[in-house]
Amino acid sequence: MNLNTRLAYVLSPCLWAIITITLVIMAYPHAQHGPAWLIFQHDSDLPNPEINYINKYSGSSENWRKSSMTNLLALMHNVQLKNNFPVLEYSIEGHVGGEDIWARSVMSAMTNLGFTPLVVENVREAVELYSNVGDLTAMVLLEDANVAECWENRRNQKFRCAQSKFHPNDIPIWKMFSFTFWPSCAHPLGEAWCLVPENYKSWSPTFGHTYLGYSIEAECSQTGFVPWKTRRNRTYILAKNSDYFHNTKIELTKVINDLSEENAGFEFAMGIDGFEVPHVENLGRLAQAEFHQALGQSKALIGLGDPVVSPSPHDALCRGVAFINPIASWNEERKWDRSKWSTQHPALAYLDPPYVYNVLHSDTEAIKSAIRQAMQTEVSRRVPAHMTVEAMKERVDRIVLEDWRERAREIQAMRSSFGGERFMWGKQV
């Protein structure tokens, strides 16, 4: 393998790793637990650049970890491979939470850019592997709790993770990135080392995260678009279980009863096992493809306040389904001031009908009015420019190839001028 090829490890709650011109790994919150995925980028001057990717992997994550380590060893010995395409650990097992969807989108972008995924068992193994191929490694992505644990134990001779005088071959802090779904992220070098799925800077200029993002465009385009005129006058209720009904501040029962009595053609649907609500068709627990199909046959998706920043509203808009976005808090004297709103999906708070109806959760009449309008107003497919496949690939490529070492040097130079700690830098990749 050409030694100019760089590796980048990533470890996170969504469990994957990436080798790009680099290698990247991600794993569980605890520094010694959870699988990690690694990915190679094949440079044109590698001995075997023609890798045959098979984009249909199914099976256990354990089997994938074993086969991927074999692939890594084979690549290092210049062996021609037919490499499976893995999805995230939870996705292999059928999980479709927001974190899984986000990480799978990142993995897809990596793969489309020419990277080969590889899996290791946990962070401990990642550190061991890094100690052998650190000169080839560009990034290591972990959950922010892992980064904090590594940094806080850098002076602990018995704790291996962050590079220190005790373990000079371990991972430099500037190569570690926090891969976290939420804005409450911290990193010793600052929030720029926090990779997040939403552009939290648009929520507040005080946030300094690096927007990684995700795309649902490819998945959405694979399902047929249901003509609006052939759809039922149905509002789909965004709720994974009965807790969302019990905890919502929306007078949902009144909304459903009033509209059902007002117009027999108005319908409501949900997908929850063992929970019944009058006038609501319960489709039972749905697989992701089934949920997308049911969603695409509806005209509106209504949120109940949770889950916050779920990908489902984007799924809806991509399928021509309006989203009713409840506002949980606002400035009472300036209700129109969106910068003061706290909504279920803040990224959509600045959109207007017919795509998004932002309504105060306490205004039952406004919620009913939004549903009426959504049943009467056609919506076309909408994928935001920053959520297209190409935009996603561009961000991933730019972030991986960023000169993070130099950025860290600038930060450290400023801090050390005030007596701050100096880092160990390792070798440039």
At residue 426, the pLDDT reads 53
Tens of pLDDT, residues 244-283: 999 999 999 999 999 999 988 899 999 998 889 999 999 9
Tell the residue number behind the tokens 């000079």, with chain if given.
168
Residue 10 has pLDDT above 60, yes or no: no
Of 111 and 85, the structure prediction assigns the larger pLDDT to 111
- Helix 98-112 to helix 389-401 angle (10° resolution) is 80
The confidence band for 62, taking pLDDT boundaries of 50, 70 and 90, is: low
At residue 359, the pLDDT reads 96
Contacts of 173 (CB under 8 A, 6+ apart): 147, 150, 151, 154, 162, 163, 188, 189, 408, 423
At 317, which amino acid appears?
A: L
Q: What value does the mean pLDDT take over residues 46-58?
A: 29
Give me 138's structure tokens: 């560009």
Report the alpha-carbon distance of residue 180 to residue 212 in Å, rounded: 10
The confidence band for 419, taking pLDDT boundaries of 50, 70 and 90, is: low
Of 228 and 57, the structure prediction assigns the larger pLDDT to 228
Q: What value does the mean pLDDT take over residues 365-382?
A: 96
Contacts of 224 (CB under 8 A, 6+ apart): 296
Residue 140 has pLDDT above 60, yes or no: yes
Preceding omega of 307 cis (within 30 degrees of 0): yes
The confidence band for 166, taking pLDDT boundaries of 50, 70 and 90, is: confident
At residue 418, the pLDDT reads 62
At residue 9, the pLDDT reads 40
Residue 35 has pLDDT above 50, yes or no: no
Residue 32 has pLDDT above 50, yes or no: no
At 314, which amino acid appears?
A: H
Q: What value does the mean pLDDT take over residues 139-168?
A: 85
Question: What is the model's pTM?
Answer: 0.77
Report the alpha-carbon distance of residue 65 to residue 359 in Å, rounded: 46
Residue 337 has pLDDT above 60, yes or no: yes
Q: Percentage of the chain surpassing pLDDT 90? A: 38
Bridge partners for 8 per DSSP: 18
Give me 130's structure tokens: 């890094």
Report the alpha-carbon distance of residue 126 to residue 129 in Å, rounded: 5
Report the alpha-carbon distance of residue 313 to residue 238 in Å, rounded: 9
User: How far from each other are the two terminal CA atoms of the chain, in whole angstroms?
Assistant: 15
Residue 213 has pLDDT above 60, yes or no: yes
At residue 120, the pLDDT reads 56
Report the alpha-carbon distance of residue 403 to residue 254 in Å, rounded: 56
Q: Which of 5-14, 33-42, 350-359, 382-391 has the lowest mean pLDDT?
A: 5-14
The confidence band for 43, taking pLDDT boundaries of 50, 70 and 90, is: very low
Contact, 371 vs 235, CB < 8 A? yes
The confidence band for 219, taking pLDDT boundaries of 50, 70 and 90, is: confident
At residue 415, the pLDDT reads 78
Here the contacts of 171-174 (C-beta below 8 Å, separation 24 or greater) are: 171/9, 171/127, 171/130, 171/134, 171/137, 171/140, 172/423, 172/424, 172/425, 172/426, 173/147, 173/408, 173/423, 174/404, 174/405, 174/407, 174/408, 174/423, 174/425
Contacts of 193 (CB under 8 A, 6+ apart): 147, 174, 176, 177, 178, 187, 210, 404
Q: Which of 121-125, 171-175, 274-278, 408-412 has the lowest mean pLDDT?
A: 121-125
At residue 72, the pLDDT reads 52
Contacts of 103 (CB under 8 A, 6+ apart): 12, 14, 15, 16, 26, 88, 91, 179
The confidence band for 75, taking pLDDT boundaries of 50, 70 and 90, is: very low
Burial class, 385, CB count within 10 angstroms (exposed 0-12 / middle 13-18 / buried 19+): exposed
**Phi, psi torsion values for 300, nearest 5 degrees:** -150, 150
At residue 47, the pLDDT reads 30
Q: Which of 1-5, 41-45, 360-364 has the lowest mean pLDDT?
A: 1-5
Tens of pLDDT, residues 93-131: 434 567 778 888 887 887 787 665 455 566 777 787 777
